[in-house]
Amino acid sequence: MYEDRELIEETEWSRTYAVLAGTRRLYVSKFADKTASISLDSLITRWGSWTLSEKRDFCYAYRLGGSECSEAIVRYLATDPSRHIRDLIAICVARRLPAEESIALLEEWTDGDSLSEPGDYALSISAINHPKAHSILERHYQLLLNHLTRLAGDPVTSAMAFRLAHCVYGLVRLGTPTAELRPAYELLTGHSPKLVRAWTRNALSKVFERIAQ
C-alpha cells in the first residue's frame, strides 16, 4: 500500500513515510496493519526499560490499532503516571474499559492536572456512555473559561485554550445547547492562539453558525 512512498523512519511499532514531496509525514501503525503484536507479559517486562520516546511511539501506534487494543494492555498502560502517556491512551481507556472504570480514571486524571500543564481528556470523556461524563466536562469547562477570560493573552494559555476547545466539542457531542457554550466559542475564535482558532473553526463553526442563522 505504501510501496511508492519514501520510508524515512521505522521502529518496532510504526513506520513513517514522506508525503507531498517531503513536506509532510505519514505515520503508520504496525498494529493497524497487523505487522506488530505484543502480549501483556512481554509489555510488562519491557516497559520499564523504554525511553519516554519509545513509550510514546508504542502508545500512539497501539492507539491506532483500533479494535486490536487489548483491555488488559490498556489497563496496564493506564497505571503509568506520565501525562504524556495518559494523553495518548485516554481514548483507548474510553473505548476499551468498562464505563464505570474508564470514567473514574479519566475524571481522576482530569482533576489531578494543573491548569498550567494540563492533560487533554475531554474528547475521550465525551466518548463514554456514562451519566457523569457531562458533569465532568461542564465543571472543567467553567473552570477553564473563567481562567482564560481573566488571563487572555498570557503566553501559557495555548494548551489551556485547546483544552477548553475540546471541552466545548465534547459538550456539543453530549447535547449541551450551543447558546450555553457560545461565550467560549467566541473567545476561542477571537482571542486564542492561531492554531486553536483554526481547530475550533474547523471543528465547530458549522454547528455554531447554523444555530446563529
pLDDT of residue 185: 95
pLDDT (average), residues 181-193: 90
* Per-chain mean pLDDT for the chain: 89
Q: Which residue has the cell 453530549?
A: 174
Q: How many other CB atoms are found less than 10 A from the CB of residue 190?
A: 10
Q: Give the CA radius of gyration of the chain.
A: 19
Q: In a 3-state reduction of DSSP, which class is residue 10?
A: strand
Q: Which residue has the higher pLDDT, 3 or 116?
A: 3
Which sign, positive or negative, has the C-alpha torsion 31, 35, 39, 45?
A: negative
pLDDT (average), residues 102-109: 96
Give me 146's grid cell: 473563567
pLDDT in tens, 77-92: 999 999 999 999 999 9
Global pTM reads 0.86
pLDDT of residue 59: 97
The Cα diameter of the chain in Å comes to: 57
pLDDT (average), residues 14-30: 88
